[in-house]
Amino acid sequence: MGVEIAIATAKVLVMVLIILHVMAFGGVYFERKVSAVIQNRFGANRANIFGGILPVNLGVLNTLLADPVKFLLKEDIVPAGADKLLHTAAPILALAPVLVTFAVIPFGDILTVGGRDINLQGAELNVGLLYILAMASLGVYGVVLGGWASNSRWSLLGGIRGSAQMISYEIAMGLSLIGVVLVYNTLDLQEIARAQGGYFLRGWLPAWGILYQPIGFVIFLVAGVAESKRIPFDLPESESELVSGYFTEYSGAKHLMFMMADFVEVVLVSALVTTLFFGGWQVPYLARYGAMGLPGFHFPWGATLALPALLVTLLQIGAFAIKLMFFTWFQVMLRWTLPRFRYDQLMRLGWQGLLPLALVNVALSALVIIWKAGAS
């Protein structure tokens, strides 16, 4: 019992460490410095520890420390006419459901330590994918209640926009995942990641999910960006018309929680895209049990490179983190590149563009699977 608790704790710590790294790189480095490069300005360069007494300046790392400290030290203001209970509960309701989804995302294959097989996934849930959709659908309450409880026009408009947008894109998102489930025949994310270990073209091309579900990938990514309510889908916030939408009336730590919820959603979309369409923790040509049952690289040109099993696992976790960072970077680039949609364009894209396309994708995937099953 004690050992199992220790293993579970270790898994949670590794996952949290990965998310924190991605958030630090994506949230602070990309959002503060890379965005500045895109807009031809310097970006955050004022934060300095002890006013520059230290011989080395840590650069953007100072901002990394200063940003949360600034938020946490600010005064917490609740507007006079606000519903106090719901005003306080809303940021928690926005952040908590997104955080718990990471419990079912696998970050590595099985690790064998001292004769004990450890599945590198927080919780083995046979309905993992549905669990993520369920929790993501609860995230909308934070937005709606935050907007309503603030007793402000801007907030209410933002909350209503947010709920309509999130419900609309949730449908396309769920439908785009049906194709993936059809291909892999399971809802367990670890099994989906493991099923992507095969190869095409005589062992040269890794058989990742995007090759089976290219349309599903595009729909999922677009719907995912819309779910995280960032540009080009940031109408619930849209600072040029609604001040900052549903969290206009929030300050300090609660404001930070809303911002974090949005950014953790970005990381969640990256994690799902990685796991479902880009092999999850798979490294090309790296296998825990290769041709001869040896852990290590098995290249298609016949060369092999044996590696200790622990190193294989570390490489897999590293690959997962790097893929996660890549898609986070991609979404940050989208945010700083594209203009905002108009609300009718947003709704038209969701209901008339993505939804029919997702339905066609489901039908096509099912037809191909039936045809292949009949052919073999």
DSSP state of 41: S
Query: Is the alpha carbon torsion for 234, 277, 263, 153 positive or negative?
Result: positive
Smaller CB separation from other proteins, 141 or 329: 141
Pairing mode, if any, of strands 296-298 and 116-121? unpaired
From the list 321, 320, 271, 253, the residue with the least C-alpha distance to 74 is 253
Tokens of 243: 């001040």
Least Å from the CB of residue 292 to other proteins: 34
Identify which of residues 123 and 215 has a Cβ nearer to other proteins in the complex.
Answer: 123
Instruction: Give the span between the Cα atoms of 333 and 46, in whole angstroms.
Output: 23
Smallest gap from Cβ 338 to other proteins, in A, equals 27
**How far is CA 367 from each of CA 181, 183, 251, 370, rounded to the nearest angstrom?**
14, 11, 52, 5
DSSP 101: G
**Nearest CB to other proteins, comparing residues 164 and 222:** 164
Q: Which of 209, 174, 190, 195 is nearest to 362 (CA)?
A: 174
CB of 131 or CB of 285, closer to other proteins: 131
Q: What's the min distance (Å) between Cβ of 90 and other proteins?
A: 10
Determine contact, residues 192/277, Cβ cutoff 8 Å: no
8 A C-beta contact, residue 233 and residue 182? no
Nearer of residues 156 and 273 to other proteins, judged by Cβ:
156
- Distance in Å, CB of 185 to other proteins, minimum: 9
Closest distance of CB 169 from other proteins, Å: 13
Closer to other proteins by CB, 14 or 138: give it: 138
Integer Cα distance of 376 and 373 in angstroms: 6
Would you give the distance in Å from CA 165 to the centre of its chain? 18
CB 264 to other proteins: min, Å: 18
Q: In this complex, which beta carbon is closest to other proteins, that of residue 134 or of residue 211?
A: 134
Contact 219, 308 (CB under 8 A): no
- Shortest approach of other proteins to residue 96 CB, angstroms? 12
CB of 348 to other proteins, least distance (A): 19
Dihedral angle sign, alpha carbons of residues 219, 221, 222, 226: positive
Residue among 116 and 153 whose Cβ is closer to other proteins = 153
Least separation in angstroms between residue 145's CB and other proteins is 7
Contacts with other proteins, residue ranges (CB under 8 A): 83, 85-86, 125-127, 130-131, 133-135, 137-138, 140-141, 144-145, 147-148, 156, 159-160, 163-164, 167, 170, 187
Which residues sit opposite 287 in a β-bridge? 296
Half-sphere exposure of 187 (CA within 13 A, CB side): 11
CA gap 223, 15 in Å, rounded = 24
**Which residue's CB is nearer to other proteins, number 98 or number 145?**
145
